[in-house]
Homo-oligomer: A and B are copies of this chain.
Amino acid sequence: MARVPKSDGRNPRKRPDGRSLRARRQRKSRRAQVLESALTAFVEKGYHAASITDIITGASIARGTFYLYFESKRAVFEELLGGYLKRISEVVSRVSLEPGAPSPEAQLSANVNRVLDVLSANQGLNELLLRQAVGLDADFDHKLDEFYGRLLDYIQGALDLGQRMGMVRADDLDTRLLATCVLGSVKELVNQYLVGDRPGEGEGELDRDMAVRVIISYNLRGILQSPVA
């Protein structure tokens, strides 16, 4: 377990590249460097296949340096994913009924737009969110359940509100199920168009405007009591 150098300890390490430590660090914090490299590794190889070696090689740091900033491979993943979940959550705001507030539909649209903004800007993290974190372990399952649960609550809340306002049809359809459908349609859209492919590869690009329109229109038309005029 413990290293037993036994002797001298004169083991001068030559730094292969000329850059000084400080120089390397200045560009961006080591921590961020590791996070970035880890994200790349996770996206390219998947959580399990990505090794610490992949991460540190990508970040051009030594093995020990990794553990200086993170407790384990799992911890980096957790930070990447957790941070992303937080950022997405923060961008979703409950529909406001204040007198001067925009129409519920407009608010919904704005929410979708903001979420898609975040998602579009983080293709790599989408891979973690929608693929790597799925079924990873009980802990992450719980984390995701909570996250999606909050989103479902939000959507269902909006639907219930709409029903009370007479804007959403109030037949016998369970609003929780409806909310699930709405969530699923967005997830799948993101899954098909905002995962994996590095931006600019031309394939799988998502037309943002079209996407928002599809999401809103598709969902609303199915939900609104009567077609919009």
Interface residue ranges, A against B (CB under 8 Å): 1-2, 4-6, 9, 46-49, 71-72, 74, 127, 130-132, 134-137, 169, 171, 173-174, 177-178, 180-189, 191-192, 210-211, 213-215, 217-223, 226-227
Minimum distance in angstroms from A86 CB to a CB of chain B = 22
Hey, which chain B residues are within 8 Å of A210, CB to CB?
173-174, 177
State which of B9, B47, B180, B185 has its C-beta within 8 Å of the C-beta of A72.
Answer: B9
Q: What is the bound-complex CA distance between A220 and B181, given in angstroms? A: 13
Q: What is the bound-complex CA distance between A193 and B222, given in angstroms? A: 21
Q: What is the bound-complex CA distance between A178 and B219, given in angstroms? A: 10
**7 A-B residue pairs with CB within 8 Å:** A5-B74, A6-B49, A134-B134, A173-B218, A177-B218, A184-B185, A221-B223
| Integer count of this chain's copies in the complex | 4
A interface majority secondary structure: helix
Q: What is the bound-complex CA distance between A217 and B224, given in angstroms? A: 12
Q: Which of A47, A136, A171 has the most CB of B within 10 A?
A: A136
Contact B222 A219 (CB under 8 A): yes
Contact A178 B4 (CB under 8 A): no
Also in contact, A4 and B222, with CB within 8 A (given A127-B135, A180-B192, A181-B189): no
Q: What is the bound-complex CA distance between A104 and B25, given in angstroms? A: 63
The 10 closest A-B pairs by CB, nearest first: A184-B188, A222-B222, A131-B135, A181-B185, A184-B184, A221-B222, A184-B185, A177-B214, A134-B134, A2-B48
